[in-house]
Amino acid sequence: MTNIPDSHPRKSSLLSRQKIVDGAKRGLLADSAMIAHGRGEAYDYLLGERTTSSASIAIREAAARLLRAVSPVISMNGNSTVLAGAEAIKIAAIVGCPIEVNIYYRTEERMTRLVNELESMREELLASSPRAERDAISRVEILGLVSDGRIRGLEGPRSLCSADGIEKADVVLVPLEDGDRCEALIALGKEVIAIDLNPLSRTSRTATVTIVDEVSRALSGIVNELHSKPEPSIWDNKNTLKDALEVMGNSYLRI
């Protein structure tokens, strides 16, 4: 890991970049994962690399809907695992739901590596957590290797999922989702809570609740909100997207 001084104004962005470069070297990521990360960096730069007030409200809504759900699941890919796997496990422990590894460019090798990565993150979290939280953490299931479910409306390997995870879920929390898959999940009547830094992406526009924020900030935010047990509201998703774009547009004031 490169040594970045604490005083560097963009330290957390540079540390995330390093996690992605390392994750790529370790074979956890798809070929184009670094490009996707770069896109996220750019949007985050325009946001000012902070959680906006409208993203905070979306984070609260996400926490509320995960708590109300009958069968929630957290769908993780390579980038989200590398950047925020531990936060996803914390959410799963509090909500009492499984995590499912589900990737766009599916290979058995990468699926196994990502499941192993999340399992070792769970062990680390267990070791560093207070006794009262350990039981819930140790019960977090990491699904994905057994693809006994299907996402109807998708073709080929992209349709594979876990029967106990995405297939039966009513609410799917999915950081960094592909547009096709988001549309298919919505068409199946599921609520999709997406985390996406591009407010114009198909996923952002299609999801039930879109959190326009960097994935580790968004997942940490959900962990915090879960403790206050929020209630779902009537949600206008277009509003949160417009607000994010306005913040980006106003970034010219920083020149």
Q: Least Å distance between CB 175 and its own copies?
A: 16
Q: Is 56 exposed, middle or buried (0-12, 13-18, 19+ CB in 10 A)?
A: middle
**Contact in structure between 155 and 191 (CB atoms under 8 Å):** no
Give the x/- contact pattern for its own copies in 53-92, rule: CB under 8 A. ----------------------------------------
Site for its own copies contains 27 (CB under 8 A)? no
223 sits in which H/E element: helix 215-226
Instruction: Please give the structure tokens belonging to residue 46.
Output: 């325009």
Q: Least Å distance between CB 188 and its own copies?
A: 24
Distance between alpha carbon 230 and the CA centroid of its chain, in Å? 20
Which amino acid, 43?
Y
Binding segment for its own copies among 53-61, 157-165, 187-195, 238-246 (CB under 8 A)? 238-246
Q: Which is nearer to its own copies, 24 or 95 (CB)?
A: 24
**Residue of 27, 32, 50, 146 interacting with its own copies (CB under 8 A):** 32
**Residue of 96, 112, 200, 224 interacting with its own copies (CB under 8 A):** 200
DSSP 8-class letter at 212: -
Q: Least Å distance between CB 242 and its own copies?
A: 5
Site for its own copies contains 249 (CB under 8 A)? yes
Query: Nearest 5°: phi and psi at 162?
Result: -95, 135
What torsion do the CA atoms of 242, 248, 254, 255 make, to the nearest 10 degrees? Answer: -120
Q: Report the alpha-carbon angle 106-188-143, nearest 5.
A: 40
**Interface with its own copies (CB under 8 A):** 17, 20-21, 31-32, 34-43, 45-46, 198-200, 205, 238, 241-242, 245-246, 248-252, 254-255
